[in-house]
């Protein structure tokens, strides 16, 4: 009798475990079943595909995206992280965007830089409205610059050039001028990217840092306005009907906060999200081969690179850096770390291809014989190099392992050490201890704003550890002080070549931002720019 019971028990438990295992396998097998908003999926997009889908544009629909962390306020001024840049993008429009494809105008209808490069005149459109119906005028612009100049507001970016403040003056209700203390060619792009705030909403708050109004207002100028912010859970935006370029096709945009990547993917498969970022080759293959989804490849506008520590006795020697650069094969690193170049094409220079001044200069080519010669000449064979990387960044660890393997082949030992973001930045940028030699990092280098790439200049605040030369530093300054685009292009080409020849950094990849989307969502790649999406007017749903 006991045996019978035991057998029954064993059988029941085995079946239970099998059922669980089968359920877990379903994760990879289950697609959206052609009907992402099937019953029981309460947050699915309202315009689920009908069985007789025709692919015609329909007005309305909800775009649902997700972020791993929530914004901490609705004020774009203080939301400069990835989540803020993405979630508040539909709420606040910039003046204009300078890109490789030309200038795209938003709040401004035109702008002009004076011949001497010291004055920029901007004309706002005359039909602009804040989300509460008030007009947007140069009064808002003047207050905005005044507010940013207050050090207590901790928001001075865009108000200074070479450490000196710019002067802003109104010409009339819709035209204003910005006068620079000295020429800074990249300021044109910086000015265009500023996102104004409504004076009438914030002017009674003397200090904005920590003010409650940052979390309650959210009055912006973009195609969508804040409808509901459920902190830590979701941000719901609705179409702004009085938008100056006409109302968007989508009716609403929702950002859900999902910290866990696995939950995010399941939510996407379940139709609860419209967009999923693909970060591995497996994900790319899976969604590319599924007819229920569309896959788009956008330029991320970043450079991932390996920096050399100028404070380490080993890597302060240019010949050591040259030996390392020649010992590495970037294509093999990408194949091993990313799986293919679709997710991460190889980078050649300090700029990515979407930078205004990117030049197709020749990059490094693996030359093992020369690398071994240099290793023998510098006597570093058998030495150990410490490689630090940001473990929170996708694929960085894989790149570190590939580099470790390739340098081992030429007799160099590499110890790899990952840090969480905050710890990594502290080690990589701010502590000049010289106790690491190689470091993997990345930066944004889109358009023209002399941004993070400036770290290879000896002068920027982030240049404490990174290698550069006096010539390169002088060229950076010359490039920004030159107004003629052709002359600037020549200077930046020289910078790219000098950085390559001085072996001050090893460019790894210029990663792509690859997303899978709900098949019905169109216009995703209308503007090849991240964070998603520069212009929500380009997006629409089909049936």
Partner 1 sequence: MAKHIAKRLLQLIPVLLLVSIFSFLIIHFAPGDPLNMYVRPDMTQEEMDTLRANLGLDGTIVDQYLGWLNNVLHGNLGNSLTNSGQPVADRILEVLPNTILLMGTSLVLSFVISIPLGLIAGLKKNQWPDQVISFFSYIGISIPSFWFGLILIIVFSLVLKVLPSSGIHTIGDDSLLDLIRHLIMPSLVLSVGNVATFTRYIRSATISQLEEEYVLTAKAKGVSQRGILFHHVLKNCLLPVITLAGMRFSSLVTGSFIVESVFGWPGMGTLGMSAINNLNYPMIMGFTMLSCLLLIVGNLIADLLYYVADPRIRSGFQEVQG
Choose which of 144, 454, 503, 536 interacts with partner 1 (CB under 8 A).
454
Choose which of 7, 11, 13, 377 interacts with partner 1 (CB under 8 A).
13
The string of DSSP codes covering 400-417 is HHHHHHHHHTTT-EEEEE
Residue pair 516/276 in contact by the 8 Å Cβ criterion: yes
CA distance 532 to 466: 31
Cα-based torsion angle of the residue sequence 92, 102, 474, 387 in order, rounded to the nearest 10 degrees: 70
What is the nearest approach in angstroms of partner 1 to the Cβ of residue 528?
24
Choose which of 172, 360, 426, 487 interacts with partner 1 (CB under 8 A).
426
Choose which of 98, 237, 253, 427 interacts with partner 1 (CB under 8 A).
427
Q: Interface residues for partner 1 in 225-244 (CB under 8 A)?
A: 228, 230-234, 236
Residue pair 336/328 in contact by the 8 Å Cβ criterion: no
Is there binding between residue 72 and partner 1 (CB under 8 A)? yes
What is the nearest approach in angstroms of partner 1 to the Cβ of residue 445?
11
Q: Which is nearer to partner 1, 191 or 298 (CB)?
A: 191
Q: Interface residues for partner 1 in 460-479 (CB under 8 A)?
A: 460-462
Q: Interface residues for partner 1 in 83-112 (CB under 8 A)?
A: 84
DSSP label at 239? E
CA distance readout (Å), 22 to 18, 27, 30, 155: 6, 9, 12, 53
Contacts of 240 (CB under 8 A, 6+ apart): 131, 222, 223, 224, 225, 247, 248
Is there binding between residue 304 and partner 1 (CB under 8 A)? no
Q: Which is nearer to partner 1, 430 or 487 (CB)?
A: 430
Q: Interface residues for partner 1 in 500-539 (CB under 8 A)?
A: none
Q: Are strands 413-419 and 384-390 parallel, antiparallel or unpaired?
A: parallel
Is there binding between residue 303 and partner 1 (CB under 8 A)? no
Question: Among the candidate windows 323-331, 394-402, 420-428, 514-522, which touches partner 1 by CB under 8 A?
Answer: 420-428
The string of DSSP codes covering 459-505 is SSGGGSSB---HHHHHHHHHHHT---HHHHHHHHHHHHHHHHHTT-E
Question: Among the candidate windows 267-275, 486-494, 523-531, 532-540, which touches partner 1 by CB under 8 A?
Answer: 267-275
User: Residues 173-192 vs partner 1: string with x where CB under 8 A?
Assistant: --------------------
Q: Total residues at the site for partner 1 (CB under 8 A)?
A: 77
Q: Interface residues for partner 1 in 313-372 (CB under 8 A)?
A: none
Q: Which is nearer to partner 1, 214 or 406 (CB)?
A: 214
Is there binding between residue 422 and partner 1 (CB under 8 A)? yes
Choose which of 365, 430, 471, 485 interacts with partner 1 (CB under 8 A).
430
The label of the residue with tokens 């997700």 reads 66
Q: Which is nearer to partner 1, 167 or 260 (CB)?
A: 260
Is there binding between residue 451 and partner 1 (CB under 8 A)? yes
Is there binding between residue 254 and partner 1 (CB under 8 A)? yes
Residue spans of beta strands (DSSP E) within 9-138: 57-58, 62-67, 96-99, 102-105, 108-113, 119-124
φ and ψ at residue 52, rounded to 5 degrees:
-100, 55
Q: Interface residues for partner 1 in 153-172 (CB under 8 A)?
A: 154, 156-157, 163
SS3 (DSSP) at 34: coil
- For residues 134-169, one letter each, b for 16 or more C-beta atoms within 10 angstroms of the residue's C-beta and e for the rest, the string is eebbbbbbebbbebbeeeebebeebbbbeeeebebe
Cis peptide before 294 (omega within 30 of 0): no
Q: Which long-range contacts (CB under 8 A, 24 or more apart) does 258-266 make?
A: 258/66, 258/67, 258/68, 259/68, 259/69, 261/68, 264/66, 264/68, 266/27
Is there binding between residue 4 and partner 1 (CB under 8 A)? no
Question: Among the candidate windows 136-144, 266-274, 318-326, 527-535, which touches partner 1 by CB under 8 A?
Answer: 266-274
φ and ψ at residue 57, rounded to 5 degrees:
-65, 135
Is there binding between residue 43 and partner 1 (CB under 8 A)? yes
What is the nearest approach in angstroms of partner 1 to the Cβ of residue 508?
20
Is there binding between residue 256 and partner 1 (CB under 8 A)? yes
Choose which of 45, 61, 79, 521 interacts with partner 1 (CB under 8 A).
79
Half-sphere exposure of 370 (CA within 13 A, CB side): 13
What is the nearest approach in angstroms of partner 1 to the Cβ of residue 490?
23
The label of the residue with tokens 């959206």 reads 32
Choose which of 102, 133, 210, 291 interacts with partner 1 (CB under 8 A).
210
Please choose, from the candidates 31, 63, 90, the residue with its C-alpha nearest in 3D space to the C-alpha of residue 522: 63
CA dihedral (394, 396, 399, 400) positive or negative: negative
Is there binding between residue 26 and partner 1 (CB under 8 A)? yes
Question: Among the candidate windows 2-10, 112-120, 193-201, 466-474, which touches partner 1 by CB under 8 A?
Answer: 2-10
Q: Which is nearer to partner 1, 27 or 405 (CB)?
A: 27
């Amino acid at each position: 009798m006991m045996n019978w019971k035991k057998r029954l028990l064993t059988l029941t438990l085995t079946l239970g475990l099998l059922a669980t295992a089968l359920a877990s396998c379903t994760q990879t097998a289950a697609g959206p079943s052609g009907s992402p908003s099937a019953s029981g999926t309460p947050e699915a997009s309202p315009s689920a595909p009908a069985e007789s889908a025709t692919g015609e544009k329909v007005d309305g629909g909800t775009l649902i995206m997700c972020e791993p962390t929530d914004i901490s306020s609705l004020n774009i001024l203080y939301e400069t992280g990835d989540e803020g840049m993405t979630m508040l993008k539909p709420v606040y429009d910039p003046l204009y965007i300078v890109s490789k494809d030309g200038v795209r105008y938003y709040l401004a209808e035109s702008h002009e830089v004076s011949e001497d490069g010291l004055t920029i005149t901007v004309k706002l459109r005359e039909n602009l409205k804040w989300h509460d119906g008030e007009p947007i005028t140069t009064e808002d612009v003047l207050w905005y610059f005044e507010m940013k100049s207050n050090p207590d507001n901790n928001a001075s970016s865009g108000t200074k050039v070479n450490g000196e403040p710019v002067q802003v003056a109104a010409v009339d209700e819709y035209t204003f001028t910005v006068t620079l203390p000295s020429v800074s060619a990249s300021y044109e792009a910086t000015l265009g990217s500023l996102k104004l705030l409504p004076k009438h909403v914030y002017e009674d708050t003397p200090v904005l840092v920590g003010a409650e109004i940052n979390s309650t207002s959210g009055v912006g100028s973009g195609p969508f306005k804040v409808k509901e912010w459920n902190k830590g859970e979701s941000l719901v935006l609705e179409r702004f009907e009085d938008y100056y370029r006409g109302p968007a096709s989508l009716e609403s945009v929702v950002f859900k906060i999902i910290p866990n990547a696995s939950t995010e993917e399941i939510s996407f498969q379940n139709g609860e999200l419209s967009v999923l970022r693909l970060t591995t080759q497996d994900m790319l293959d899976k969604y590319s081969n599924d007819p229920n989804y569309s896959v788009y490849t956008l330029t991320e506008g970043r450079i991932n690179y390996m920096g050399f520590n100028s404070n380490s006795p080993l890597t302060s020697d240019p010949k050591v850096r040259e030996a390392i650069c020649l010992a590495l094969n970037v294509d093999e690193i990408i194949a091993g770390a990313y799986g293919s170049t679709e997710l991460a094409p190889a980078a050649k220079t300090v700029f990515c291809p979407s930078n205004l001044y990117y030049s197709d200069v020749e990059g490094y080519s693996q030359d093992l014989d020369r690398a071994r010669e240099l290793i023998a000449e510098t006597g570093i064979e058998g030495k150990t190099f410490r490689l630090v990387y940001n473990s929170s960044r996708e694929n960085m660890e894989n790149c570190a392992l590939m580099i470790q393997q390739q340098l081992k082949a030429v007799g160099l030992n590499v110890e790899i050490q990952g840090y969480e973001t905050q710890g990594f930045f502290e080690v990589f940028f701010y502590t000049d201890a010289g106790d690491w030699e190689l470091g993997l990092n990345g930066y944004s280098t889109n358009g023209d704003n002399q941004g993070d790439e400036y770290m290879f200049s000896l002068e920027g605040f982030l240049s404490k550890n990174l290698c550069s030369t006096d010539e390169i530093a002088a060229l950076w300054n010359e490039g920004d002080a030159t107004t003629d685009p052709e002359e600037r292009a020549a200077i930046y080409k020289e910078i790219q070549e000098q950085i390559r020849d001085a072996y001050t950094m090893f460019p790894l990849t210029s990663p792509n931002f690859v997303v899978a989307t709900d098949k019905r969502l169109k216009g995703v790649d209308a503007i090849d720019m991240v964070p998603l999406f520069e212009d929500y007017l380009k997006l629409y749903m089909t049936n």
